[in-house]
Amino acid sequence: MLSPNTQYNLRNAKEYFEEHLCAGDYYSEGQTIAGQWLGEGAERLRLSGKVKRDDFLSLCENLDPNTGQLLTQRLKTTRAEDGGDRESGTVANRRVFYDFTFSPPKSVSIAAFIGNDERIVEAHNRAVSLALGELECFAATRVRVRRAYADRHTGNVVCAVFQHHTSRALDPHLHSHCIVFNATHDVVEDRWKALQNFEMLRAQKYVENVYYHELARDLRRFGYDLVNKPRGDFEIRGISKELCDRFSKRHQEIDEKTQELLSSGADLAAANIKDVRETVAHKERSRKIKGIGDDELREHWRAQLSPVDEQAISAASGSRSATNTASVTDDAVAAVAWAEDHLFDRRSVVP
């Protein structure tokens, strides 16, 4: 899944870095999470390898990490807002960064961390890098032409990626936060400008499917059999829905709080339920658990498994036989033939 979120508040952005991105969803024993720089924009700023605290915080303040000078010209942090019947006031206006979060299906996280398959984490990271490269292609900036605004393609972003492996409920949850700063280099004007992310958001589903495709290809190569689902994602065959639900406590918590909010009589009749759910996910967060180590975390997971569950997870990676692996090409040809018959059944021309 790919879910975007925009950070408007500078102080919150810095706290998010210190308390969440670097620490994950629990405080392990003296460990921190090191982010990695990605993107052509990062290369232009000579940012590579591990993310350093001072560089990240400088970009939050819209400063060039190398010179300390203002990176983009516009730095309006608030705007006046007329609330109509409500009181008017000021709200945050400057976008500090965009958080694009990639996460695989729950069964993949279970196989990776409870099944102790480190290859899956590497495959996830590779899929994230490739998908982020596709997302970067849609980067643009705003240009004023003859008193009208237009967008100009730039194709570069400054991105810091932080990979985590648990949810707030301490369930196995592999995911990567791709922090895309509100800056892109305009080669035509040869200067840094605010990032226009409209096309990036429009391409969200495409980029999500690039991630799924690359991850699924590696999982099949590792020997996992996958079950495709109607909404475009998949699960690993052999890891039951009941087991996935058991390790989706945070997901269930968000669903319950969303339902409570919708049934509370709040003025949400015209609201998009997905938007309400995302708001709950970002604002309704339980406190992090401190002082827990990786060994304790894995013991916490194992305590929730039955012998049958353990056997199913262990068997999932060996579910594909050599014959099945050899027939992948034949299966693909059959799938394309079926798709052609299905699409052309009622139409003579399809895109």
Residues annotated as part of the active site: 26-27
Neighbours of 149 (CB within 10 A): 9
Dihedral pair phi/psi, residue 9, rounded to 5°:
-95, 125
CB-neighbour burial class of residue 10 (10 A; exposed 0-12, middle 13-18, buried 19+): middle
Contact between 84 and 69 (Cβ < 8 Å)? no
Residue the block writes with tokens 């919150």: 12
Torsion sign over Cα 145, 150, 152, 157: positive
> What is the SS3 assignment for 275?
helix
Give me the DSSP letters along 226-265: EEE-TTS-EEETTS-HHHHHHT-HHHHHHHHHHHHHHTTT
